Amino acid sequence: MRISILGGTGDIGEGLALRWAFHSNHDVIIGSRDAEKAHTKADEYETELDSRGVDVTINGFENGMATDRGDVIVLAVPPYHVGDTVESIADRLDEDDVLVSPAVGMKREEEGFRYHRPGAGSVTRIAADAAPDDVSVVGAFHNLPAARLANLDADLGIDTLILGDDEDATDIVRMLAEDIDGLRALDAGGIANAPEVESITPLLVTLAMHNDGLHDLGVRFS
């Protein structure tokens, strides 16, 4: 498949891009509001993979052009940009496209991070409300440690929770998730459950802050 990662120059975007390009045969496309930045990061990712013996082409484009080229579009942008980003690419989306939202609203306080639940209920719901009616939205990759994901020497051995109201779309994202070695996808139900899933992330970050040896913390359910 062709996976376009909007915000693919950021932390979670980098990790997903490198892992898919390293572990699978899917085409990876980097999107950014700045086309030159997308080109530069795509070249950096290619260089990293080449150093590991993987000959792959990663292209970078402005977000709209990246959307045109993708079958699955990952919204790896800050939570407060999700709605605007979806609206900016809405006319570039086809009915068979799948939008994926990994963003989580958080705010930092003295003792740690708190879940900042948006008025819509979740960031995944913001994406779904902004998307055209015929485009499916799936929540996934919320609780992944970005630095660990981007470190191709690190074993993952963690889970990601998949949320969506369209079974075919969630099946596609589950398949893409499990194409990454060491990542297991679990069904967490519909988008109505997104607040509970998204709220796990600030807990993980807070635990990492307060406990030595728990940096880049992920979750494994058993």
What integer pLDDT is reported at residue 179 of this predicted model?
98
- Report how far residue 182's alpha carbon sits from residue 179's, in angstroms, rounded to the nearest whole number: 9
Q: How confident is the model at residue 26 (pLDDT cuts 50, 70, 90)?
A: very high
The tens digit of pLDDT for each residue in 109-144 reads: 888 899 999 999 999 999 999 999 999 999 999 999
Single-letter residue type at 184: R
Measured between alpha carbons, how far is residue 6 from residues 56, 79, 111 in Å? 19, 13, 32
Q: How many residues are listed for the chain in this entry?
A: 222
The tens digit of pLDDT for each residue in 57-116 reads: 999 999 999 999 999 999 999 999 999 999 999 999 999 999 999 999 999 988 889 999
Q: Is the pLDDT of residue 208 over 90?
A: no
**Pure H helices in the chain:** 11-23, 35-50, 63-68, 82-89, 123-130, 146-150, 167-178, 194-198, 200-210
Q: What is the mean pLDDT of the chain?
A: 96
Of all helices (H) and strands (E), which one includes residue 29? strand 27-32
Share of the chain above pLDDT 90, in %: 93
Tracing tokens 């590991």 back to the chain, one arrives at 52
